[in-house]
Amino acid sequence: MITLANIRRAIYNIYKRLEILESNSGGNSGPAAQIQSDWNQTDTSAKDYIKNKPTITNGQDGITPHIDPTSKHWMIGTTDTGIVAEG
């Protein structure tokens, strides 16, 4: 059953949760602060440091695909794919 007391209790609980979020954001007077992540941040204690960044490689096993200037085929490392590059 919905009563005025239950509504007041729910509003009070929401208010308290917002206070906790606000205090965890460094004491700002508004909602928790938004932080822009920095891919190049190297300081692991900085708030904008990205943990568990994926390793990005260029192509298969780090080998960069390229076009052979003679055959005009796509190459992966020294392997000829047999696929002609459109151009």
In this structure, the answer to whether residues 23 and 61 fall within a common structural domain is no
Domain of residue 11, residue span: 1-53
The predicted-structure confidence for 34-66, as pLDDT tens digits, reads as follows 667 787 888 988 888 888 776 655 555 556 788
Q: What rounded mean pLDDT belongs to the chain? A: 75
pTM of the model: 0.30
The CA-CA-CA angle for residues 27, 33, 34, to 5°, reads: 165
Give the C-alpha separation, 37 to 52, whole Å.
13
Q: What is the pLDDT of residue 70?
A: 92
In this structure, the answer to whether residues 47 and 59 fall within a common structural domain is no
In this structure, the answer to whether residues 72 and 82 fall within a common structural domain is yes
Give the C-alpha separation, 65 to 78, whole Å.
9
In this structure, the answer to whether residues 41 and 75 fall within a common structural domain is no
In this structure, the answer to whether residues 14 and 34 fall within a common structural domain is yes
How many other CB atoms are found less than 10 A from the CB of residue 85? 14
Top pLDDT among 46 and 27 is at: 46
